[in-house]
């Protein structure tokens, strides 16, 4: 396998984008309330299903868009708006849009839409317009590993970081996400004209 097959910079950038979009740290309160309601969260199952959803969408997402006549650049520009608003939410601590807290802690609320939700799907296709697929897959796996660790130790993380610690992390990633949204918009907007 040639050494140029994987690009470390692309992997790091894609990983950070997905980390900020998935926002598993920000989801800890939801995960904790789910655990309190249901008693147990299937971390392995949720992580595996989320991985499958994301990798599948990475490959067939473009074809689905093709069927409805939308190119990847248009989707990337639309994605940059979604990422922009998610960043605004994280930085300002406001909620522009949020689904209701799910009733059960099965695969459905955690794997989808908590981990592999609309924002994640949009980001994957936006990344696909700019990065190599193998690097995005590595970024997905890095994030799923982190998601799995967080799901397994959410109570401990909440105790260690506290509410203010979680807020600081969300704000920092919000700023990173905002910069990424601007870059994504700038890189793809020219392709539309």
Give tens-digit pLDDT for 77-86: 888 888 888 8
pLDDT grade for 104, boundaries at 50, 70 and 90 = low
Is 193 inside any structural domain?
no
Domains: count for the chain: 1
Alpha-carbon distance of 105 to 102, in angstroms, equals 7
Query: Does residue 148 lie in a domain region?
Result: yes
Q: What share of the chain is helix, strand, coil (3-state, %, to 5)?
A: 80, 0, 20
Asked if pLDDT for residue 2 goes beyond 50, the answer is no
11-70 pLDDT, tens per residue? 999 999 999 889 888 788 778 777 777 778 889 999 999 999 999 999 998 888 889 998
Q: Is residue 122 part of a domain?
A: yes
- pLDDT tens-digit map of 106-134: 577 788 878 887 778 888 988 988 899 99
* Structural domain includes residue 41: yes
> Per residue in 142-180, pLDDT tens?
999 999 999 999 878 878 888 888 888 888 888 888 888
Indicate if the pLDDT at residue 103 is higher than 70: no
Asked if residue 1 is part of any domain, the answer here is: no
**Domain span at 62:** 6-188
Cβ proximity of 111 and 51 under 8 Å: no
* Domain membership flag for residue 137: yes
- Contact indicator for 18, 123 with CB cutoff of 8 Å: yes
Under DSSP, the state recorded for 95 is -
């Amino acid at each position: 396998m040639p050494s140029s097959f994987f690009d470390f910079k692309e992997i790091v950038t894609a990983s950070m984008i997905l980390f900020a979009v998935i926002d598993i740290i920000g989801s800890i309160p939801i995960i904790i309330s789910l655990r309190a309601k249901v008693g147990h969260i299937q971390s392995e199952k949720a992580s595996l299903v989320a991985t499958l959803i994301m990798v599948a969408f990475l490959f067939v997402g473009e074809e689905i868009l093709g069927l409805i006549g939308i190119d990847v650049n248009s989707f990337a520009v639309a994605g940059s708006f979604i990422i922009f608003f998610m960043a605004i939410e994280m930085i300002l601590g406001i909620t522009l849009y949020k689904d209701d807290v799910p009733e059960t802690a099965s695969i459905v609320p955690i794997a989808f839409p908590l981990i592999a939700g609309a924002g994640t799907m949009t980001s994957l296709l936006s990344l696909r317009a700019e990065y190599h697929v193998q690097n995005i897959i590595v970024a997905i796996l890095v994030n799923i590993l982190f998601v799995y660790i967080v799901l397994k130790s959410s109570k401990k993380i909440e105790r260690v970081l506290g509410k203010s610690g979680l807020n600081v992390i969300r704000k920092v990633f919000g700023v990173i996400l905002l910069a990424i949204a601007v870059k994504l918009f700038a890189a793809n907007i020219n392709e539309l004209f």
